[in-house]
Structure 1
């Protein structure tokens, strides 16, 4: 292809580009990724996680003892309750406990440590995320809203956690992960 032909092709493409950026599709994890590059399916926004659209399931990290006595876990416990139902699932470290919140929304409790006073590992977080992804795939869930999981009281580094999220959920390009960074007013 000659340089002139390339310039004409690009010019034609630019002319057909929509003038209204609001008509462009919202980017999600449905991108074309090669086997060497994972899709970036994690999008960060400022806001309250609990104001996420109802078509987004929710997730956060907890201990297997399901105490949920500190951090954002307290709010999950207050809003969704059903701790006995979660305990009955007997999810261990590296697993996930799940509550249904309506017909197509789920609340995921990533079990990343044995008891509330311990710290999670990146390996256990990864296992929990894969367990959640398996449930999401079976249940037709493609959108997830989360806090910076494992990075508050649990002390994991956000950069590493974000990389794990992109690796786990960017593999097949079917997931959109929205991370809510709460900014008090």
Structure 2
């Protein structure tokens, strides 16, 4: 029997829940990342199978949860071979045959299934839905609970059973800057774009942040590794990044008491606190998405792309031209704003610093 449902599939009480995955051991965003946090034991088994090269498209991997209540299994279903690629219908077709065999082997009475290969996978839902109905109707004694495509649930509604990470100087500085930033009176929540720029300037200040390497990107300097940093902090120190949505407008909020813990930690780490204060002084008055993008972009151009040996000696004409040539988005930045950002960086002596790049 096939039925359709809405809501958070992670809360379904079917005998088994399907988790859509790749075969390289990465659950980086979307539903897979939600599963990683809700069922960390499943991720460990899945990751080992991928590392051993024993898990391939067309197969499914069942992981028992050793629970007294449903769900009793997570069934990992590869809809793509690599996380960078798109899903393929042949993977769905082959996987469904394996899924049906596995459901019979395990004696399952009900299975909750997300929109296989749709969403981040890129497959049209209408075609996937027809495939599901044609295939699963062959086992009418099993209830197949299908969850069509829908937006991700609110971050607070996503289960998170990962271990709380330790507070470190780097985490404390980032959390403290977020708190200082949002305490300026702005009514909107801090965005992922602004967190990227806060960490950019924190790295410039000399704070040793492991593996944080920046590159030139659409919205200014960007470090992809921050996705993993925020993922680790999500649900413990921050909220808003639960499904790994890497969009600049993704809102990030501090969890209760996270700021207090971070500031207490900083009080015991004087050098990090000094760097924290330097960043806070630099960005004063630029606390907005546009302001932080402007300030970081101007810094990058002056320190990474200037024709002058000394970044502070870049001419106004060269600076404005290179900012505007970055992309169409940057071409809309007003010359007066670009020069004001440059003056702030020069006045606070930030043009002496460069970040590691790729």
TM-score (norm 1): 0.70
Cα distance in 2 for partners of 1:166, 1:64 equals 25
Cα separation, 1, equivalents of 2:23 and 2:48: 11
Question: Which one of the candidate residues 100, 104, 107 is aligned to 2:64?
Answer: 100
Instruction: Extract unaligned runs of 5+ from structure 2.
Output: 155-358
Which SS does the other structure have where 1:113 is aligned? coil
Counterpart in the other structure of 1:35: none
Residue pair 1:95, 1:112 contacting (<8 A) in 2 also: no
Q: Which TM-score applies when normalising by structure 2?
A: 0.38
The structure richer in helix per residue is: 2
Secondary structure, in 3 states, of the residue corresponding to 1:110?
A: strand
Decide whether the 8 Å contact of 1:59 with 1:146 is kept in 2: yes
CA RMSD in angstroms, aligned pairs only: 1.9
Answer whether contact 1:94 1:128 (CA < 8 A) is retained. yes
From 16, 20, 24, give the equivalent of 1:57.
16
After the TM superposition, which segments of 4 or more aligned residues of structure 1 sit over 4 Å from their partners?
Answer: 181-185
Q: 1:127 aligns with which of 94, 98, 111?
A: 94
The 8 Å contact of residues 109 and 143 in structure 2, kept in 1 or not, is answered as yes
- Partner residue of 2:4 out of 44, 47, 56: 44
Cα distance between partner residues in 2 of 1:61 and 1:102: 21
Q: Following TM superposition, by how much is the alpha carbon of 1:93 offset from its aligned partner in structure 2, in angstroms?
A: 1.2
Q: Report whether the alignment pairs 1:72 with 2:31.
A: yes
2:219 is matched with which residue?
none
> Distance between the aligned counterparts of 2:80 and 2:58, measured in 1?
8
Paired with 1:67 and 1:161, the residues of 2 have a C-alpha distance of: 23
Q: 1:144 to 1:172 in 2, by over 3 A?
A: closer
SS in 1 for 2:122: coil
Give 1:22's aligned residue.
none
Deviates more, 1:100-109 or 1:142-151: 100-109
What is the CA–CA distance in structure 2 between the aligned matches of 1:113 and 1:151, rounded to whole Å? 11
Measured against aligned partners, the alpha-carbon deviations of 1:135-173 in whole angstroms (never above 9, x if no partner) come to 110110121112222111001111111111112211132
Q: Which residue of 1 aligns with 2:132?
A: 165
Superposed displacement of residue 101, structure 1: 1.8
